[in-house]
Each structure stands twice: as C-alpha cells, then as structure tokens.
C-alpha cells in the first residue's frame, strides 16, 4: 500500500490531479491518496466550481497560503507543507505542472527524505524571464520520478544530465480530463447564455505578466483583436489579474468600444471546455490550452514568443505569434480561411496517462 500526497495549488493543477486521484481510488488495495490544496489560487468560488466539475474530492488538507510575491509564496508553502509531511509520512508526494506550489512542495518533500514524482516534467520554454521555467527546472532536478508528456520533454531532461532511469514517458495527463469530460461539457448551456447559436466565434485567454502587466504589449494585442473581432465575435473570460490591469491602464472604455469582444467572468471547467471546444479559433497565452486545442483540431494562436509545448506546433494546430499585431491578425485570418482540421493523434495523448503513472509508482 502506497500513501501518496497529491498537491494542487492553482486551477491548472486541478485538471492534472483529478485523473490521478480517480485512478488511485479504483485501486484501493494499492494506493491511499491524500489531496493537499496549498491555496495559491485563493478564489473559493472558482476553486469550488473546478472541484465540482472534475469530480475532485474536497481537499484533505488546505494550507491557505494565498497571494504573495513568488519568493514569499514559495517560502510560505514550504513552511506549511513540511508539518503535513511529518504528520502523514507519505511514500510519495506528487506535484504537477509548474506553479509555485509545485516547486515549494517538491523542496519540502526532498528536504524530509520523501520521494517526489513530477507530472508534466521536462517541458522547457528556455525563457528564463518566466517564473514557471525556473519552477520546472528546479522541480525536475529534485524529483525522483519524472513523468513526461511527450518525447521532446524526455530529450530535454537527458540533455540536462538527468539519468534515464528517473524518466518515464507516460503521456499527457490533461488529455485524461479532456476525454473524460468532453461529452458532459457539450451539455453546458454557456453558449446559449452568451447568445452563440453556432461555432462562428473565437475564444481568448490572457493572463501572463508579459502581456497584461505591460501596457504596450496589452495595447498591441487589443489592436489586433479589434481587427479580428470585425470578422467574428471573440469571447474573453477575463482572469482577475487581467481585469485589474484593464482598470489600472484605463482600458475599460477601449474594451467597451470593441463591439465584437465579449468580456465575461472566468468560467468553471465544464463551461469553459464547452466554449472553446466549439470555437473556430482560440487565442491564448496559456500552456494547457495549446495541447487541448491540438487534440480537438482547433486552430490556436499563442500570444507569446515561445512555448514549452513545441509538439503542439510541430504536430498540432498551434502557431506562435507573440504580441506582433500584424502577425496575430494575419495568422488569425489564415486559420479562419482554412478548411477544418481533424482531431490530431499524438502518442500517448489517449486518456490513459493516469494508469501509466500509477504503474510506474
């Protein structure tokens, strides 16, 4: 019997941990899972919606860390997680993704001699300005088992000198959640509520500091969106950070003037999946959406200068456009004029990654 602490800290983690806990509960004779929520994302309403949509159990332990600058948040999570490890004495701590909680909990477990498994290991943007990149690299150095989503991630780890016996190619855990919940998501009423009677719309997500903390970058993106929104409506579930900067940079009136841009509140997992899975185009600076749109065959424009998921470009539907307004518009119109893309089959993005993780553990 293996006692395993599964760590979540922010919404992108929830979709990655849910299939693992579900798989462990199917194997009760072999695994005792515990769920620890660090509280790095502290919006209770949004967290509750994601837990409900993903059939995640209530966290066994909530650390309640809340918002703070990166180093302070890392220290707070580590300090609060250490007593949990001492009390629970787990065989493994599983961390997922690349948020601050991922690194902090890996550090705490490593310090106390508990084995660490990192799900979504080996992803690299090679952009040292991204805090997520620092989190990924250090977590991978610490982890005893590194679960990679794609072949290129394993190659990155080997190039960094990580022994091959610590690396396991298991596939993409995000796709486990996508495949399980897609049909349920299609029953959502969100498109009707937004007055979207067909698939002739785009979806936008925007939250990274390089885009929304920089008024010039934000303005360039808005200029491009203005042109695209004349062609089809763009639905924009706005992240709290983004909304804050819209006010801070006095962009509210500018956004109101864009009749084709629909600014809405953030959505739960099923409503959001329903929305973007039916879109003709997705524009994003997120990571996981690049993968999900590839599997669904939906054209995706990534509003960044790089991606830690290059397989979505080489094999998938993703295009890296940065914040160059002309490039964003050109690539958007190319995507909209292209014939529909069939769903894409990438090795081990098959909905069975959680089972492979448990077999390795």
CA distances from 275 to 23, 75, 157, 306, 353 (A): 27, 37, 35, 25, 25
d(CA 79, CA 92): 18
Angle, alpha carbons 209-210-216 (nearest 5°): 115
d(CA 176, CA 191): 24
| Residue 166 DSSP one-character state | G
Catalytic residue flag (residue 207): yes
d(CA 265, CA 267): 6
From the number of C-beta atoms within 10 Å of its C-beta (0-12, 13-18, 19+), residue 126 rates as: exposed
Instruction: Please say whether the beta carbons of 318 and 287 come within 8 A.
Output: no
E strand or H helix at 41, and its extent?
none
Which of the residues 41, 207, 239, 352 is marked catalytic? Answer: 207
d(CA 116, CA 139): 9
Q: Tell me which residue of 178, 157, 94, 144 sits closest to 308, measured CA to CA.
A: 157
E strand or H helix at 92, and its extent?
strand 92-96
> HSE (CB half, 13 Å, CA atoms) of 188?
24
d(CA 234, CA 260): 6
Q: Which residues contact 186 (CB under 8 A, 6 or more apart)?
A: 274, 277, 278
φ/ψ region of 108 (left if φ > 0, alpha if ψ in -120 to 50, else beta) reads: alpha
Residues designated as active site: 207
């Amino acid at each position: 019997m293996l006692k395993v602490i599964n760590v979540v800290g922010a919404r992108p983690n929830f979709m990655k941990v849910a299939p693992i806990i579900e798989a462990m509960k199917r194997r009760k004779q072999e695994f005792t899972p515990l769920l620890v929520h660090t509280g790095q994302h502290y919006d209770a309403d949004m967290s509750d919606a994601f837990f409900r949509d993903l059939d995640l159990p209530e966290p066994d332990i909530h650390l309640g860390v809340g918002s703070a600058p990166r180093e302070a948040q890392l220290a707070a999570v580590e300090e609060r997680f250490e007593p949990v490890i001492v009390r629970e004495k787990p065989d493994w701590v599983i961390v997922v993704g690349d948020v601050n909680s991922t690194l902090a909990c890996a550090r705490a477990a490593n310090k106390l001699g508990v084995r660490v498994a990192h799900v979504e290991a080996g992803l690299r943007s090679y952009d040292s300005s991204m805090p997520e990149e620092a989190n990924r690299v250090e977590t991978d150095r610490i982890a005893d088992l590194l679960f990679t989503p794609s072949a290129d991630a394993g190659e990155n780890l080997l190039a960094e000198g990580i022994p091959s016996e610590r690396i396991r190619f298991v596939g993409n855990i995000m796709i486990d959640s996508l495949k399980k919940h897609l049909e349920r998501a299609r029953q959502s009423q969100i498109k009707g509520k937004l007055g979207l009677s067909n698939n002739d719309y785009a979806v936008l997500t925007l939250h990274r500091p390089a885009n929304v903390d920089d008024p010039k970058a934000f303005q360039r993106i808005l200029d491009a969106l203005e042109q695209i929104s004349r062609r089809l409506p763009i639905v924009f579930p706005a992240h709290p950070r983004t909304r804050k900067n819209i006010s801070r940079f006095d962009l509210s009136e500018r956004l109101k003037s864009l009749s084709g841009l629909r600014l809405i509140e953030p959505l739960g997992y099923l409503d959001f999946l329903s929305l973007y899975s039916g879109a003709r185009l997705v524009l994003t600076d997120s990571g996981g959406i690049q993968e999900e749109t590839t599997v669904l065959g939906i054209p995706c424009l990534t509003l960044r200068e790089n991606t830690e998921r290059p397989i979505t470009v080489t094999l998938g539907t993703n295009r890296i456009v940065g914040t160059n307004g002309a490039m964003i518009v050109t690539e958007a119109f190319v995507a909209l004029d292209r014939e529909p893309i069939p769903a894409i089959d990438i090795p081990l993005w098959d909905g069975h990654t959680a089972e492979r993780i448990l077999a390795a553990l």
